[in-house]
Amino acid sequence: MKNTRYKYKVFRAFEFMIVALVLLTILVTSKEIVWTIFEDMESGELLANYKIILSEILLLAVGVELAILIIKKDIYFVIDILILAIARKMITYEKSADIFVSIGCIVILLAARIMKMRLLPPSPKEAAKQKQQEAETHGEAVLNKEGA
C-alpha cells in the first residue's frame, strides 16, 4: 500500500513538472509571437504572415488545454484539444477537400461532446458542483426577492 502511494506521488510530481514546462514554453512563445506581430506591423508584412501567426496562437491554445488535461483528466479537454488542433491545421490547408474533411471532423467531435453531456450521468464531483451552484443561485434568487 505504501509503495502504491509513493508511486502515485512520484507520478503526480512528474505530471506537474510536465505542466510547468508546458506553461513555461507557452510564456516564452507568447513573448515571441507578440514580438513577431510588432515586427510585422512595422515592416508592413502582418497580413502576409497572418496564417502563421494565427496558427502559432492556436498552438499555444492547444498547449494550455494540454496542461489542463494533464491536471484534470477530463474527456471534454481531449475533445477541445482535437478541435483546436484541427482548426489550426485548417488555417494552413490549401485544398478545399481537406477543409471539408476537417469541418466534418469538428462537427463529429462537437456531436460527441453533446452526446456525452446528454447521455452519460455526471461524475460525483460534477454532481456535487452542480448542486452547489444551484444552491448558490437559489440563495441569490431568494435574496433578490426579499430585497425588491
- pLDDT value at residue 21: 82
For residue 11, what are the domain limits? 2-147
Q: Which residue has the cell 450521468?
A: 121
- pLDDT value at residue 138: 67
Rounded CA-CA distance 63/91 in Å is 17
Query: Domain count of the chain?
Result: 1
pLDDT digits (tens, 9 = 90+) for 63-98: 777 777 777 777 777 888 888 788 877 777 777 777
DSSP codes, 52-86: HHHHHHHHHHHHHHHHHHHHH--HHHHHHHHHHHH
Cell digits of residue 32: 515571441
- pLDDT value at residue 140: 55
Cell digits of residue 24: 513555461
